[in-house]
A and B are shown apart, each in its own frame.
Chain A
């Protein structure tokens, strides 16, 4: 399956206003809608409760540019011209469901159900209490501790390793897609872009990358995509933790690199070893970055004098890590 963003462009232009969410108390299949959690260009996420009053997060496929739902309506209106694109986008939404259904990992959001209603489709996930790393960074601007960074990323990378072990790439890692549970453990969200399988030999899709966090090969030479591309995005997210903002877009960096190595800009605030690791991930040349999540985890685990890392952060490697040998 190739998901090409160009194919989700509307034929009939839609007023770019937000779609109306389902109302509070609405009974959607076996779930009761509580409230809207977020609104993306492609979907709405709700908090809802199932029959046992267990909270769930439900993602509704509702691309802003193709379908419109006004206050008081249930079924989105899709102009005939947009119907093929709407259906095509739905396929991409299914890809997200497929990717997630295969992944069972404490650091990857769990999908529990998938169903059709109101002329569109829904993905039910385990509801996680907490906030995004993006929110956290904004609240703690300039004072995100090294210990916090190492702890969150080492564990988040356990989840990413699982993604790669399933021959998937995430391709949209950024602080707003890394969710921090209230107990501090991270969970990877939003696999809307994980449609590109590692081994896929098909023409490349264009996922909805986020400039600043996307690797240069994602914006350009997509044949070079690999685990190292997600690693670039991890590096950019690490960078955002210490700097408060994303690094410059990688395609602009390729023209003229204005990115200062963090080893130069942040010495003293963070250990040299952490800063070197960040700069390593942010190399423009894919071959110069850590080539696997495992090698990056090892770097993040390297103990600093006097700072012991709980062994439990790092899931056992032997079981899940598969080699990428033979696949380029």
Chain B
């Protein structure tokens, strides 16, 4: 495989960054994943972290170096991530499970497969046009589909953040899967959170990524989005990938996986501040011991009734 990839996430004007992004590849398969933890909800960033981490770890386990069945992989990994978030809520005795959107894409054998829940998006750009994009699982999108709203008023609709599908939360996610899509030389795949597509719009995303160098386009687009959003700027994240045919000459900053060993992985997982996830914290402080004991005792109380 040959591709150029660049990702970046910024906090915007918020107190914490609840977006999480990662990509990971083996010799023959590539994974992109982005999650936007839901702000209004407790522990949104934990939900996003669990989602990204689960999907990446599943990929590292199963892409050896090819995934057996990419569509099945996506389905299983997202279901497992959803359940892991519920388990986290259970363990922490949270009244409500935290939530996160997710959009993730797998590429292997020259084909892309993606899946999403919520309003984080994937765009496939080809020949200066949007060749495919995900449909937001939002009320506004439903109203657009029914002709109750036009694009202009949708962009300013007060309820535009309301989504009806996500990982975590009290309802099982309604994950939407793409068909298997053949990639062509110079195709661009972009995964982004609403903090990016909101201020830029489809047009802005398309224009921004017409730049031949994704590693320059991405930071510039984030700058633009931040300027446009102003004082209320949300967390914003973008992963952009440019696909190159195996036969194409190797562009400067691109990755060629040909020489990788069968079981090797390269992973880029962005973590922020103290993105302590339940699975990664290894040492145990006195406080944590006290908390673990308190949790167990409260579970004992809860279940002995």
A binds B: yes
Residue total for A at the interface (Cβ-Cβ under 8 A): 33
A264 at the interface (CB under 8 A from B): no
Q: B-facing mask of A114-125, CB < 8 A → 1, else 0? A: 111000010000
- Tell me the smallest distance from the CB of A2 to a CB of chain B, in Å: 7
Residues of A within 8 A of B90 (CB): 102
Of the candidate stretches B1-9, B74-82, B201-209, B263-271, the one touching chain A is B74-82
A69 at the interface (CB under 8 A from B): no
Please determine whether B296 and A2 come into contact, CB atoms closer than 8 angstroms: no
Please determine whether B80 and A114 come into contact, CB atoms closer than 8 angstroms: no
Please determine whether A327 and B282 come into contact, CB atoms closer than 8 angstroms: no
Given the known A-B contacts A1-B278, A114-B296, are A88 and B84 also in contact in the complex, defined by CB atoms under 8 Å?
no
Chain B CB within 10 A, most for which of A101, A203, A328: A101
- For the complex, give the distance between the alpha carbons of A91 and B279 in Å: 12
Please determine whether B84 and A94 come into contact, CB atoms closer than 8 angstroms: no
A250 at the interface (CB under 8 A from B): no
Nearest CB in chain A to that of B90: its residue: A102
Please determine whether B57 and A202 come into contact, CB atoms closer than 8 angstroms: yes
A64-121: which residues lie under 8 A (CB-CB) from chain B?
84, 87-88, 90-91, 94, 97-98, 101-104, 110-116, 121
Given the known A-B contacts A115-B293, A116-B289, A201-B84, are A104 and B57 also in contact in the complex, defined by CB atoms under 8 Å?
no
B297 at the interface (CB under 8 A from A): yes
Chain B interface residue bracket vs A = 20 to 34
- For the complex, give the distance between the alpha carbons of A2 and B289 in Å: 17
Residues of B within 8 A of A167 (CB): 83, 87
- For the complex, give the distance between the alpha carbons of A121 and B79 in Å: 35
B287 at the interface (CB under 8 A from A): no
B299 at the interface (CB under 8 A from A): yes
Please determine whether A116 and B290 come into contact, CB atoms closer than 8 angstroms: yes
Contact of B279 among A84, A90, A202 (CB under 8 A): A202
Please determine whether A114 and B293 come into contact, CB atoms closer than 8 angstroms: yes
Q: Which 10 A-B pairs have the closest CB atoms?
A: A101-B299, A87-B284, A201-B80, A97-B296, A114-B296, A199-B83, A94-B292, A101-B300, A201-B58, A201-B54
Please name 17 further chain A to chain B contacts, defined as beta carbons within 8 Å, in addition to the given A98-B91, A115-B293, sorted by A numbering.
Answer: A1-B279, A84-B282, A88-B283, A88-B284, A90-B284, A94-B296, A98-B296, A101-B296, A101-B299, A111-B300, A121-B289, A201-B54, A201-B61, A202-B279, A203-B61, A326-B75, A326-B79
